[in-house]
Amino acid sequence: MMSLNLKYVYTYSVLITVDNVESLLAAADHVNIIRLLQCCSDFLESQLCLENCIGIWNIANIYCCAELHQTAYQFLQQHFMEVARTSMEFLELTLSQLCEILEKDELNVRQ
């Protein structure tokens, strides 16, 4: 990952994939390459779906990607019922995370 970070520093381009984005994000965070952090964050936002929104929400929290964190959280709130039914990540939520989600007025549920 450090070689990809160095490549980005010199060329301002790097291939971000589903397989390397989290490691690349961690390495960029470690050496504080803000532009690469934003590229990884943008990539993750483009990949946001029912199955991965909780994981992306958690990753954004770990690496202090505030905008991505908010986007993933809003996606989770808007699609809560579908996420609860289809996402394996839903089963891995901590009690405090679940309570945080359920207590919000913005949560989109029928009843």
Residue that the structure tokens 């207590």 belong to: 103
Q: Is the pLDDT of residue 52 over 80?
A: yes
Mean of pLDDT values over 49-56:
97
Give tens-digit pLDDT for 72-86. 999 999 999 999 999
Q: Is the pLDDT of residue 104 over 80?
A: yes
DSSP characters for 16-34? --TTTHHHHHHHHHHHT-H
* Residue 108 CB partners (closer than 8 Å, separation 6+): 77, 78, 79, 80, 81
pLDDT, greater one: 7 or 56: 56
pLDDT, greater one: 110 or 37: 37
Task: Name the phi and psi angles at 17, rounded to 5.
Answer: -130, 170
Residue that the structure tokens 């991505």 belong to: 68
H or E stretch covering 102? helix 95-102
Mean of pLDDT values over 10-19:
88
Q: Is the pLDDT of residue 61 over 90?
A: yes
Query: Alpha-carbon Rg of the chain, whole angstroms?
Result: 15
